[in-house]
Chain A
Amino acid sequence: MTAVTIPWTDVNDDSATVVEWHVEDRAEVRAGASLVDVETSKSAIEIEAPSDGLVLQLVPVGGEISVGQPIAHVFQDEAALAAFEEERKKEAPSAPEPGDEVRASDKARARARELGVDLSTIAGAGLITIKDVEAAAGAADEAPPTDLPAPLPGDGKSKRLLLIGAGLGATQVLDILAETDGMEGIGIVDDNVAAWGREVEGVPVVGGTDQMQAHWKSQAFDAAVIAISTSVDARARLRELCRATGIPLANVIDQRSKISTGVTMGEGNVICAYTHFGTGTEVGDNNFISAYNSYDHHNVLGSDISTGPGCMTSGEVKIEDRVRLGTGIFIEPKLTLGEGVIVASGSVIVRSVPAGHAVKTKVVTTTVVPIRPR
C-alpha cells in the first residue's frame, strides 16, 4: 500500500480542496498517471499516482484535505485492499463507555471508579472534580450499608462497651479493658468510611456514628466510651450526640491508677495507667486522662478535657471544660485554667489562665549537636 499525500506548495495554505478525480474509486492506475486535481487558495495542483495498483479514494470531490494527510491509497492487489478495509473497520471507534460524554478531570474519573460513583449522576456547572465525586460518594453513603460486621456478642457477664473512634485512642481503651473485670469492648464506630469493616485488637469497626442508635435499640451494647484523645471538640460533640440519643457513657479506668477517698467522678472518663486523683477531687464527664497524670487533693476537673502524659497539679486546682494539656505540665496550687485553655508541653503554670487562652512555654528547645570525638 502506498499513501498519496498532497504537497505543501505555499505558506498561505495548510489544506486544499479536491476538484476532480481522474481515476474511479477502486479502479486500476499506472504509476505516473494523473490521479486527482486539488486546489489551494493560490494554485491548482495535479497529483500523480506514485505506483501501479488499485486506487482507494479517501476524500470526495469538494472535500478538504490537510497538507500531509493521505488523499488516497494505492494497493498492489485486491487482497491488500480488502485487508486494509477490514483493518479500518476494526479501528472504527467503539461505543462510548458510560460517563465518557461527561466533562470530568482525570482524577475525578479515577476516584469515581474507586468509589463506584456514576459520573453522569453528578450535576454541576463546570468540570467535575475529585471534590464533586467525593461529595457524591459521601451523599450515597447516607444509605445504610448492608455488608458491615456485627458487634461481638460479648461474654454474657461483662458490661458491653461500644467505642467511638477507631484510631490509636481505641487501642489505649481496649488495652485498659483487657485487664478490667466486668467490662469488654464489643464494637467500634468511626465516621471514616475507610475504617469500616476493619478490626482493632479483634474488635470490629461496625460503621459510623449514625449506626449507634440502631445498635443501641437492638441492645447490642450497654454503654459507650469516646476513644478520641486528640480533639476536645470532637469529644464534646460526640458526648452531646450520645446524650441526645440516650446512650450512657462508661468510665474506663486502668486498674493501676489511684482513686483516693472522696473522689467523685461523672461518666465517660478514660483514665490511663498510673494516674492519681487526690482526696476530695471532683471529676466531670468524658475526660481523656493519659498515663502518669496526678491531680492532687481537692482539684475540680470539668468535662471533655484531654491531657498528655505526665501532667501534675498541686492542691485545689480547677481545670474547666475542654481544656487541652500537652505532655509534662506542672500546675501550682489554687490556680484555674478556664474553658478551652490549651497548654503547651513542658509548661510550668504559676498563674491562672482565663478561658479561651493558650499557654506557650518559654523554653522548649532541643538543640542537637554532633558528639565531639575524643
Chain B
Amino acid sequence: MIFVRELNESLHRLLETDERVVVLGEDIADPYGGAFKATRGLTTKFPDRVLTTPVSEAGIVGVAAGLALSGYRPIVEIMFGDFVTLTFDQIVNHVTKYGAMYDGKVTCPVIIRTPSGGHRGYGPTHSQSLEKHFLGVPHLTVVAASPYHDPGETLTALLQRDDPVLYVEHKLLYPEHVVRPSGSRVGDAIGHEESTPGWLPSVVLSQVASEDCTVTVLAYGYSALLAARALEELAVEEEVFGELVVPAQIAPMDWAPVESSVERTGSLVTLEEGMADWSWGTEAAAEIGRRRFSQLRRPVQVVASEPTVIPSSRDLERDVLVGSDTMKEAIREAAA
C-alpha cells in the first residue's frame, strides 16, 4: 500500500461516506490533482464539495473555519508546509479559540494537511518542517504521517473528534509503502501498536526482543523511516539494538509508550527533521527526564537539524538536515 495512493483513496472514501466532509486547497482540481497528487480525481467525482482556491492560505483556513463552525468537516491542503506560516493567525487566534470563546457551544474541527520536509533539493522555502512552531498551541492537535500509520485510519479517527488538527505529511513518505503492525510484527521487525484510550496509537518496533534493546529511539514522520533503517543497520552490522517508538500524534503527546520503553532500555534519543533548539525533542527530554529520571542512565539525547536556512544544493542540504549517519552516531552513543 503506497502512502499517497492510500491517502487519495481515503479522501475519496471519506467524501463518499461522510457528507459533512469538504476539501479545499490550491491547485487540487483535476487534471493536476494537487502538487503531490493526493487529491487526484476528487473534483471530478465531487465537484461541489472539493474547492480549488485562490493562492491565499490565510483565506483558505478562514473559510474552512467558517465551514467548520457551520457543521462541515473541512479538510484543507496547504500545498507546501512552508506556507503554513500564513495560516498561523487563523489557527492560533481563531480556529483553536472559538470553542473556549463561545463557552463550548461551538466546535471548529478544521483538519489542515500539508506536505512538508526536505531531502529533495527544494531550497529554503519548500523544504522545511515547521510543525515545531505549532507544538503547544492550546487546543491544537498536531499529527504526523508515518510509515507505520494508515492515513485513512488516522483521518477517520480525527473526523470522530472535534479538535482542530494540523496533519503534516513528509513528502518522501508519499511513494513509500505503509507497513502496519500485524500479529507481533511490523514488516521484518518485531513490533506492535500501543494505544492509550483517547490518543492515536504509537507503533513500537525493534530488531530483537525489547529486553535486549539498550536505547529507545523516539521519532515521527520520515525521520521514523530513516531511524528504522539506521536501527536495522546498527543491529545487523554492529549488534547495537534499539527500540523505535513512532507516535502519530506529536502534540499533545501520549508519553506512556515512550515511558514503558525507557523503563526497559534506560536511555532515550529523539530524532526530528525540524530545526534544533526549542523543539519537540527538547520537550520530550524535559518530560521523560522528569517522569523517568531514576531509570535513565544518561541524559536524553536530542537530535535535530542545524538551526539555519536549508540550502538548495542537495549536497549542502545533506549537511543541514538530520541524516542516517548522524542518527546512527547518536543511537550508538546512547545505546552504550
Contacts and interface: CB of A to CB of B under 8 A. Distances in A.
Contacts of B184: 125
B237 A106 contact: yes
Given A126-B206, A126-B208, A129-B208, A105 B190 contact: no
A130 B121 contact: no
Nearest to A127: B207
B236 A126 contact: no
Contacts of B121: 11
A9 B235 CA distance: 39
B212 interface: yes
Given A11-B122, A103-B188, A126 B209 contact: yes
A103 B236 CA distance: 8
A107 interface: yes
A11 B209 contact: no
B239 A129 contact: yes
Contact of A127 (B35, B120, B236): B236
Contacts of A105: 235-239
A106 to B, nearest CB: 5
Contacts of A106: 236-237
Contact of B209 (A12, A103, A125): A125
B58 interface: no
A125 B196 CA distance: 25
B189 interface: yes
Question: How big is chain B's contact interface, by range?
Answer: 20 to 34
A61 to B, nearest CB: 22
B212 A129 contact: yes
B206 A130 contact: no
Contacts of A131: 212
A103 B237 CA distance: 12
A107 B239 contact: yes
Interface string B184-210: 110011100000000000000011110
A345 to B, nearest CB: 32
Contacts of A125: 184-185, 190, 209
A44 to B, nearest CB: 15
Interface in B90-137: 120-122
Contacts of A104: 236
Interface string B27-57: 0000000010100000000000000000000
A127 B209 CA distance: 9
Contacts of B120: 11
B239 A126 contact: no
A43 to B, nearest CB: 14
Interface in B160-198: 184-185, 188-190
Contacts of A130: 239
Contacts of B238: 105, 107
Contacts of B185: 125
B208 A127 contact: yes
A126 B212 CA distance: 11
Nearest to B237: A106
A108 B208 CA distance: 13
A108 B235 CA distance: 11
Interface string A104-132: 11111000000000000000011101110
Contacts of B209: 125-126
Interface in A123-175: 125-127, 129-131
Contacts of A11: 120-122
A126 B122 contact: no
Interface centre among A106, A108, A126, by most B CB within 10 Å? A126
A103 B207 CA distance: 10
Interface in B226-274: 235-239, 241
A103 B189 CA distance: 10
A108 B238 CA distance: 10
A39 to B, nearest CB: 14
B90 to A, nearest CB: 28
B207 A126 contact: yes
Contacts of A107: 238-239
A234 to B, nearest CB: 28
Contacts of B207: 126-127
Nearest to B190: A126
A11 B317 CA distance: 14
A153 to B, nearest CB: 47
Interface of A: 11-12, 41, 103-108, 125-127, 129-131
5 contacts: A11-B122, A104-B236, A126-B207, A126-B209, A131-B212
Given A103-B236, A105-B236, 7 more contacts: A12-B35, A106-B237, A108-B239, A125-B190, A126-B189, A126-B190, A126-B207
Interface of B: 35, 37, 120-122, 184-185, 188-190, 206-209, 212, 235-239, 241
- 10 closest residue pairs by CB, A with B: A127-B207, A126-B208, A126-B190, A105-B236, A105-B239, A125-B190, A107-B239, A127-B235, A126-B207, A106-B237
